[in-house]
Amino acid sequence: MPTHHVDRRTLLAGAAIGAGALITPGPALARSGDLAALERAVMAGRDDSIRRIQEWIRTPAIAAENRDMQKGADYMAALARDAGFTDVEIVPTDGHPGVFGVLDSGAKRTLGIYFMYDVKQYDATEWSSPPIEARLVDKPGFGKAIVGRGAVNQKGPQATFLAALHAFRKAGRKLPVNLVLVAEGEEEIGSPNFRQIVTKPHILAALKRCEGIFLPASWQNSQGAVDVNLGAKGIIELELIASGEKWGRGPKKDVHSSLKAMVDSPSWRLVQALQTLVTPDGNTPAIDGWFDTVRPLSAREKALIAENAAHDSEADMKQGLGVPAWIDDLPFARALERLASQPTVNIEGLVAGYTGPGGKTVLPARAVAKIDMRLVPNQTRADCEAKLRAHLDKRGFTDIEAKVSGGYDPTETAEDSRLIRAELATYARQGVKATLNPRLAGSWPGAVFTSAPVSLPAGHFGIGHGAGAHAPDEYLVIDSTNPKVAGLEKATMAYIDFLYELAAIK
């Protein structure tokens, strides 16, 4: 149902000049005298900003399908140059390339920026709006939004940050911090080669000058609140494969199912192996030694989780997820503790034999389980991969292949780092309720930055709203009708204020 559209540029143009209409500026931005010029530039660049998001969505690079990856890297490099980055280069890896660039404004401090240019796969038949057309649609309760794969994860927020850089150029103002950009095209397959990019000597040297690294995000909920994550779980993505050929039993190609009476089944072989990985309820990893290095939650982390549980709506979360209860019928606070503290072994998909309509009486020669394992401090990818292999071998499953496609360690960032304090100060100034969260249950390759040799704080920042990452009808709000949620222009100005805050914070 169409919503009434207000011409925001006309509405804001008169109020913005000298009045800080889009945001409440921090002291550093206010003292700079740049606010009015930057706000005018943000509003003047609105159409270009929308077009930038749409064109990026229309240029999909999907690592899982090896689809247009060089084109995606080229497009990322062009976006960086257009936003003012210099020495932009496409960085080869053993897999898909990354992109590096710097923006030296002569400032005293430098901030690192992490981008990803790849997106998840999609099934266009599941979408109400075509996934790479990037149409503007009405989103009830939020306003006008761009719908498309990558809209919120992560092209929309990243393009909004680029809009802030374009505003500096258009306004003829220097950035208050220097920037170092590192981008990859393999985030959605577990960043298997990202460390190769970051540890190249000249890139590592540039990153070592940074105060921290951040990923632009548009994660305001319907009440306008955001989480400030002090870490994230690590991940291992893999396939477990059972085959008659590798096993030396069962068929080497699919055979008639009537032969099950005398022929072994690789599918049942895989099921038996999977059952050893978790407790009977499927909720707790049972891999030998899996919990040996797991760090329990600290008292501070437990306190933060308890505070979050007291203020969050358990009913809304259950409704949004479509679940009636938590594991073991745990109370909300305990469920949130489990979410932050527990490693997981999850089956993403099971594939064997015929999966089309109706039946097909075959005994499959090959069965595959797509698995992701979330890791918590102090687990490491290397140690967990070794433990998985040893666990399977000990139980006689030496024939089950573990084909790892990617992954990385958990990440942690200090609450008192300049990066986190600058985020909290900027959110508070904009009237955004920011909740400290000990650990994002999802994963991103922040450990590449927080661990040696880079060893920097890393996190997410941004206002605005979007949803549907990895799902149909992914979207990013452009014109917000929800007074608690930022639209495109305000989100762009918040990045500008954040840069000034980081430049000035003690």
Indicate if 234-294+343-408 has the same CATH topology as 24-232+411-504.
no
For 281-339, the pLDDT digits (tens) are: 999 999 999 999 999 999 999 999 999 999 888 998 999 889 999 999 999 999 999 99
Could you tell me which residues are beta bridge partners of residue 347? 371
Structural contact between residues 264 and 383, judged by C-beta atoms closer than 8 angstroms: no
| Per-residue confidence (pLDDT) for residue 21, from 0 to 100 | 64
pTM listed for this prediction: 0.91
Tell whether the model's pLDDT for residue 7 goes beyond 50.
no
Number of other CB atoms surrounding residue 217 within 10 Å: 25
Q: How many CA atoms lie within 13 A of 336 on its CB side?
A: 22
Q: Which of 16-25, 39-48, 322-331 has the lowest mean pLDDT?
A: 16-25
H-type alpha helices, 62-119:
69-82
CATH 3.50.50.60 is held by the domain 24-232+411-504: no
Question: Per-residue pLDDT averaged across 170-181, rounded?
Answer: 98
Question: Is the separation of the CB atoms in 327 and 335 below 8 Å?
Answer: yes
Q: In the prediction, which pLDDT does 312 show?
A: 87
Sign of the dihedral through C-alpha 123, 125, 128, 131: positive
The CATH code for residues 234-294+343-408 is: 3.30.70.360
pLDDT digits (tens, 9 = 90+) for 336-389: 999 999 999 999 999 999 999 999 999 999 999 999 999 999 999 999 999 999
Rg (CA), the chain: 24
**Residue 311: its pLDDT value, please?**
86
Q: State which amino acid sits at residue 399.
A: D
Q: Where are the domains of the chain?
A: 24-232+411-504, 234-294+343-408
DSSP 154: T
